[in-house]
Amino acid sequence: MTRRGLLIILSSPSGAGKSTLARRLMAQDPALRFSVSATTRAPRPGERDGVEYFFKAKAEFEAMVANGEMLEHAEVFGNRYGSPKGPVEAAMAAGRDTLFDIDWQGGQQIRNSALGKDVVSVFVLPPSIGELERRLRGRDQDSEAVIAARMAKSQAEISHWAEYDYVLVNDDIDRAEADLKTILAAERMRRDRQPGLSDFVRGLNREFESR
């Protein structure tokens, strides 16, 4: 009973924990693939092309958008981000699930696309705004100006929480991870995601008739 692959969207304001949850889920679920985004921003120390991101020149990125090669795309803090469509469609056809670590704009585009019926969306909230700022500063990656910009944007991002299928409050990363695994397990078992189930039940009925 091979099923069509799911698209699992994780969104949150910066610092709420979606990337940590994504890494944990990927490390423990071999049936899951991560959607590597393309971006026009410069690589950070230690980042590798094709692993953390596909690093693209602005012209190349815009050509991919114009040619319909992006499943979603957005501009964030002056840089372009997007999800290449080809690898996602190939994974779905093979029955593999794809995990997206993207913002609400990207999630909205995917939900409104032709693949929307295959989406499971999860929004991650911080336990408080004070804790959100503490986590951003604790990453020690961004300047004061970038942190201020991320904090200013977080309220607008959080306002989209009700558009998602599930909402997690990440006050404890282990509990949030366990809840995320429960969501994924349940969605994989939904009746409408098992295309061979009707044939299987018809086979059971034939067994009854032959007794």
Question: Between vectors from CA 33 to CA 103 and to CA 192, what angle results, nearest 5°?
Answer: 85
Q: Which pTM value belongs to this model? A: 0.85
User: Tens digit of pLDDT per residue, the chain (211 long)?
Assistant: 578 899 999 999 988 999 999 999 999 998 899 999 999 999 999 999 999 899 999 999 999 999 999 999 988 889 999 999 999 999 998 889 999 999 899 999 999 998 999 999 999 999 999 999 999 998 777 788 989 988 999 999 999 999 999 999 999 999 999 999 999 999 999 988 888 889 999 999 999 999 9
Q: Find all residues with CB under 8 Å of 58, minimum gap 6, and list them.
A: 40, 80
Fold classification of 7-190 is: Rossmann fold (3.40.50)
For 57, the token pair is 């020149």
